[in-house]
Each structure stands twice: as structure tokens, then as C-alpha cells.
A and B are shown apart, each in its own frame.
Chain A
């Protein structure tokens, strides 16, 4: 048993640290550290910096412009970028669609779409969920009917994250209504600027605009935008969901969040002393910190077994369940920490780019919206109840 990283892995970590130190603009990391939302231009700015370094899609095979990093390298990179408060890379194209294209796409599709992702030419969004297909994803009803060398798409997608910025969507559509419902699903690439596509914002309970509804009315999609074979979209979608699962523990984000929480708990006063010295609050803080240290080792055990060839399977559902609970708890403790100043609705959310002075401590404004926003963690990516179903079946054999 040896919990240390090899000299090569440590050197790699140093390289990542040096890169972040010299290339990550403080303007961006300050916003991430204090829980503020980045606009489209800021996200694209960071992705361009990564692309120049060749680190925008490091998990891709080298032949497609990736680095072919090992799972351990990817883990270290995740931790380092989160702890440095680097913006998150938008995953839809780079981490979700790209592996599907690499595995199942035609040569033309790979040659066309993959370089454009690295260039930042397209902003991809995901078209999976529908009003009647949330956790029950196979219930897709958006219809794509073949008409010559085009598909005609009608239907509705929902919970489309950052769809307001996107020019392309990969989506699951129903091309066949006969037979088992998983079999009639196909995987289609849709131009968001095509006639008949309408994006409507969904304002979430934190007051933010992150997700959207997308409506399709007689949208014509070239047949060459079908990925793989017609009717096998469900297989591709499942492949996508098993990809990059160890990142579901979000250890780096939680570590960064905990450090931020502690700095707030040192600044807040309760009964004449810093809140961090309050017995009850200190106990809540210690509990989540211990859970996080345990989960980090649980994650490393999964990473180590994946590095030895065992693909992370259903046990990564454990990481999703615990990782999401921990992140929610940290956001919830931050809300408790600021006491009465959890109440004001921050003006900058109402009016983007508002210059009004903060209400209460300057760190307080984003905390309640962040807490509310992170309720999503146990719902999306397969709700935690779905994860428990997966473990029951795949690990426990129930």
C-alpha cells in the first residue's frame, strides 16, 4: 500500500501548477473563487488559453489533438485546476460529444467537428432531457422523420444547459416508434441557428439563467448529421454517460469550496468570536471535511483500479452520490455562515453587470443563489436515486 504519487506524476502536477500560475488570469479566478458567474466571452477566453497549450481536450487520444493522459493525470489536473479556481471547461462538446464521435462517428464527422471544438468555433449543448424524459431518458419523443437526405425534427428538449450560447446541439431523437423504446432512438447533430429552432430561458430557483427549453418545429437537419447508425442512439448515449465518471466526485471543487467556506467562517462573528470557533458550527465543518478526506481516498481507489485497467464502472455512482452530497453540504454551511445576510437577493443577478455596491459582506451575495443552484447536483446526471438503482443492480445484484 502506497498513497503517494510517482515522481513522474508529481512532476506532471508541478507542470500544471506552473502553467496555472503563469497563464490563468486573476480576473477570471477571482470570479470563480467568489462564486460569480462567468459570461460567454470569459469562458471562451480561458478555453482559448487552454487550447494554445494543447490542454483543452487532454483526455482525447493524441491523433485527434488530445494528450492521451492517464486517469491519474486527469485526476491531478482536475484537482489542480479546481484549487486554482480555474473556470470549468464547457463539457458538452469536448467531454461528452467528442468521445462519441471518436468511437462511433464517420471519418468526415471527426475531421469536421473535432478541430472546430479545439478552435472554439462551435458552442455545443446537450439535447437529452424532455418534459416527459428526465431520469427516464429512454422516453424520448422528439421525432425525426427521414425525408430524402434530410431529417425533419419536431418536438421539445428541456434543461438545456447554456443553450442560449450554443450554435450546435447533439440530441437524442426518435426515428422509429415500433419495437422496444430504446431501439428507435437516434443520435443527431442539430444546427441551433436553423429555421424552426426556438430557445426559451428557464429561470431557476436561484434567479439565474443557466438552462433553457428548446423547441423544434419542422427543423430540417442534413442526414449526414446522423452519428453512427439510425436506431442505435441509446447505445451511444449510454457510452457517453459512462465516460469521465471519476470526475463526478468533484473533489477539487469541494476542496476549493471548503477553503472558501473556512475563510468566511473566520470572518463572520458569532457571540463575540469568529464563527469557526463556535462549537456547533465547528462540528458541522469538521464532519464535512472528514467526509471529503474519506471521499478523496475513495476516489483515488477507483482511479488506481482504473489505472490498472479496471474500467470505473458502477462504483463511480458511489462517487456521484457522496460527491454531490458533500458539495451541497458545503454550500449549505456557507448559507448558514452568513446568517441574516443570506436573505438579500443580490442585485447583480437581477441586472447583469450591475455596479451597485454589495449588500452586507462582499462575499455574501452569491451564497444563497449558489446554495439554491447546487440543489441540482443530486438531480442531474442521473439523480442520486437513479445512481442507487444502478448500484443495486450492477454492484449488489439486487
Chain B
């Protein structure tokens, strides 16, 4: 049993952590979310240079890491810095491209190209297999019609991976350049200070090579995306804990630090217990993904990921709300860094399935097992 990070992984996390502290400010983040492309392009280049994008992928595909343990170390660190760059969407898209178009990964790892997945629709809620978007085989290629909902960092992308159902009813994934005719991207800032878009596709003509494969290709990508979100939420929760604890020790009311009140001490302890459970859930999910090792039976992996996403969703929101409450009035203001972490902690639950969705998935997989 060993819960420590390997030296290589620790070194990468140290470099990333230092980069975030020294270069990545919340002011930069706020500014970037106001307009397209929705992230800071200089930061993205630097993340590529220090190897963060390469660390998402295995050596076989031009990266140098990519294990589940690498992913949780990286995303916890990104969460701790509230980094709003398209790392998670690129991880998901890259995982699909590993199987379908590995030749595209080199530019992605170099930070030259951004591809993001567009797998969810307004009517499908958190189920990516409910697809209204249609693909028609024209003999020389495909045309796509439909729409995709709340696509993270779509404005930053030069291509989208879009799911669509063809005439035979089979669902597949298609690589769609964002500058193709008929692609309309309506970008907007999110309540968590990140940026997303609604996508509409009207008679979008694609060549023959655009079909990446069956929708099942998305499974591993979604699993990794969920793992990444869980680790990000853990990093955010740790940051909120530190900030709230600091506030309890320094904020004086009635002549003493508010942290001397037992009512607040016990709430703070509850927060600590919740975060320890979050960390264990994230480790369990990474271990289950690692144990699966690309095998075809993904029941145990998906079960552990649902357990983690449920835990993180539930506990992350509680940590956010308690942080706001214990900060009192100042916790209601945009000027405080804390509130931005709290907003992201809540909204993370609305990506790739919320706590209820994953509790239901967990139950279904337990019944199947």
C-alpha cells in the first residue's frame, strides 16, 4: 500500500503548482471569460510548454504520462488554482482521437490545436446516448444537422467531436471543424466564470474521413472526463477549506476570532471529514480505472467513478455552501476570491452527470453486477 505520488508525478505537480501561483491570476481568468475564445491563450501555450497537456496522454500517442493517477494529480492542482483552461475537454477529445485519429494528437499536445467534445444535447440531460443530431451519408461524405448543449470551451476549439445518428439508427462520432459552413457557435460566460457555448449545425458538409467511429468510443473519454472533474473538485474543496479556516482564525467578532465558537468549529470539522471522504473517493476511482487498464469490462470502473462523482457532487456543494456561510456577508461578494471557487465547486456537479445521476448509475451497475 502506498498513497504517495511517484517522484515524476510529484515533480510535474510542483512545476504546475508553481506556475499557477506565479502566473495564473483570477484577474486573468475573469478577463478571459468575458469573450471568445474564453481562456487565456498565453496560459495555454505555457501549459503546453511545461508538459501539462502531454501528461494527459500515454507515450504511445506522443505524451509522457496519462495514467489515472497522473490525471488526478494534475486536475487536483488545476482545481486548487481555479484554472479555467480547456484541459478537461482536450483530455476527453484526445482520448477519442487516440483510437480514431492519433495523428492529430501531436499538435494538440504542442498547444497548437484545440479539439473539444460536443456530446450532450438539450433534451438528453446527462445521457450522451440520447441524440437528435442527424448524420446523412451523401456517398462522398456526410451532412450533419442538429444542436449540442453547453459545450465547454467550444469557442477556443478549431474542431469539435460531435455525436450524431445516421439513417440506419447507428450513433457515431464526427470530427467537425469549427469554421465549417453551417456551424454556429453561440458563446457565453458561465455562472462559474468559465466559458461554454450552444452549437447549432445546419447542413454541415463533411468529407468521408470525418466519421471517427462508433459512439462507444466516447465511453473511455467520458470516464476520464468525470475522473478529472472529481479531482478538480477535490482541489477546489481543499482551497476552500484553507481559506475558510484562515478566515475563522482572523475574523474578530465580539472581541474574539469567530473560530473560537464551537458551533463554527464543528461545522469546520464536518467540512474536513467531507473532504477526506472526497479524496478517498477520487483515489478509489483512479484505482478502479487503473485496474481496468483498457479492458472491455468497465463495470467496476464506471461504478467507482459514479461513486466518486456522487461523493464529490454532494460533498463539494456542501463545502461551497458552508464556506460562504462561515464567511458571512463578505462571502456574498464577487470581490472575494473564495466565492469564485465556491461557484465552480457547485457548477462542477452540473457537468458529466450530477450526484443524483451518478447515484442512479451506481445502483444500476450494482444490480447488474
Contact = CB atoms under 8 A, between A and B. Distances in A.
Q: Which of B260, B270, B273, B284 has the most CB of A within 10 A?
A: B273
Contact of B262 (A293, A298, A389): A389
A326 to B, nearest CB: 10
B306 to A, nearest CB: 9
B265 A388 contact: yes
Contact of A1 (B4, B268, B273): B4
B2 A392 contact: no
Interface string B255-281: 000011010011011101100111111
Given A286-B359, A297-B283, A4 B1 contact: yes
Given A1-B3, A301-B3, 4 more contacts: A282-B363, A289-B366, A318-B273, A398-B245
A290 interface: yes
22 contacts: A1-B2, A1-B4, A1-B283, A2-B1, A2-B2, A6-B1, A277-B367, A286-B359, A287-B310, A290-B281, A290-B311, A291-B311, A294-B278, A294-B280, A294-B281, A294-B307, A298-B279, A301-B279, A321-B273, A388-B269, A392-B266, A392-B269
Contacts of B185: none
B245 A396 contact: yes
Interface in B1-26: 1-6
B284 A293 contact: yes
A395 B280 contact: no
A286 B362 contact: yes
Interface of B: 1-6, 69, 245, 248-249, 259-260, 262, 265-266, 268-270, 272-273, 276-281, 283-284, 286-287, 304, 307, 310-311, 359-360, 362-363, 366-367
Interface residues of A, number: 42
Contact of B265 (A72, A303, A307, A392): A392
Contacts of B367: 277, 282
Interface of A: 1-6, 9, 72, 277, 282-283, 286-287, 289-291, 293-298, 300-301, 303-305, 307, 315, 318, 321-322, 385, 387-389, 391-392, 395-398
B311 A294 contact: yes
Chain A to chain B: the 9 pairs with minimum beta-carbon distance, closest first:
A297-B280, A392-B265, A388-B269, A294-B277, A294-B280, A398-B259, A290-B307, A298-B280, A388-B266
A398 B260 contact: yes
Given A282-B363, A385-B266, A290 B283 contact: no
A295 B363 contact: no
B1 A72 contact: yes
B277 A322 contact: yes
Contacts of B4: 1
A398 B265 contact: yes
A298 B248 contact: no
B269 A396 contact: yes
Contacts of B284: 293-294, 297
A4 B5 CA distance: 15
A173 to B, nearest CB: 30
A293 B249 contact: no
A398 B287 CA distance: 35
A396 B362 contact: no
A389 B267 CA distance: 11
A263 B245 CA distance: 43
Contacts of B5: 1
